[in-house]
Structure 1
């Protein structure tokens, strides 16, 4: 018996088991690897290139890739496409991350409070969510642009103020199940306030589904920014984003198809990598598939 006790392997926590399952998922690891490479390129790449993203050269207009020292060619103003692509990727990733953080803070707080409070408070809070859901996204953004003007920070707010709605519903449904668990009853019996229970017990146990949804919200925010920039309501020149580059490339695709091809490939690769990572996180954190009781 003592020998069995000594040789028995130690138990793994849920997060350690999820990490093991995630690392065994080749598609998720590949997606994460691509995202790391893209993030490093966007962060350091513009400082390593000999051209600035907003540097105009009228003598190098519409150069094809690998011409005149420009690896990916130039646009109608002679600006280096690679420099603009890396800056645009940086802006799009920043918008996706910041907008997701905004939606995370609002959505988790709103959903946790609504689900834990229940009753009339829950009814009123979720009806507000339903009303906001009925408002068209583009109409809401146009109102913000008309009222406050076009600014990069405003794009963060506009996208984050819409993306939190779905997160609040997910968090609310999880909170309704969690507040019936024994550890919440024990916290009540110990005299903790409702705010303390939500902060110490409810929110930490929501990390699994929240992490999965965050990995899927970032590409949704990037796609929303690209849509706004394509319509001229997003990032304004001379700043670039993946949306503005694709919009500009679509206008000149007959004369310079590379202006549309390269930004589109980067956009597809970024969104696909996030989706692969999100699917891997969902499988790794799913208690049913991991063999653990919920």
Structure 2
């Protein structure tokens, strides 16, 4: 009989830990005033929310200015200006100085930011479903995929990961695992939490995995904070594919300490592992 999985793992405390690990300051991009004035003078009459000529709303493109999100549109605008298609023939053309000014801004913003050749925006990238499944098997030392021994079985059963997460859709690149395509998929944190909670429950029946993670296949009800720190640091380093920072270790260790007030060391470590798996450095 299958036990019911209680999702106490994803407690408000755990969610606050994830928030702390996710806090990375970002700088808002700004459109150069000269470029905005150029569009206002020559383009907004046709390319605003009301006109939307050619399906292009320059007013929306410039406010707010989001260079990473709207890169493809900006490339089209730059090409149209260079070829003399914007403004159209019946309108007052841009002067050579205006074209050069826009081209200089475009190159500085998109081609050579900070004076260096730039291949394109570096978008944050999460793990695809297949990558996530492979990585979880590696860091937890468990088999998520079921062994299919019946050769007459025509349908391979879905894994835990496949039941919760979709295969993804093909993006403009033709792939489903590039950063831009992955960023367009919406997966809420509770879906991840339920999925990872089930994967972590596999440890209950895998003594070999527990031996590799904890240094012993059975933990006593309580362990020292130093031992817990070593276990958490080892797991976090594997999950993040880099050394954990002092702040990350302290944050997860604080969660572990709060969890031990009502749970055993083993369950508290699983709670800590879940917080690590739900944090952006892993995903």
Q: Which has the higher contact order (CA 8 A, sep 6+)?
A: 1
| Structure number with bigger Rg | 2
Greater percentage in helix? 1
Q: TM-score, normalised by structure 2?
A: 0.26
* Alignment TM-score, normalising by the size of structure 1: 0.25
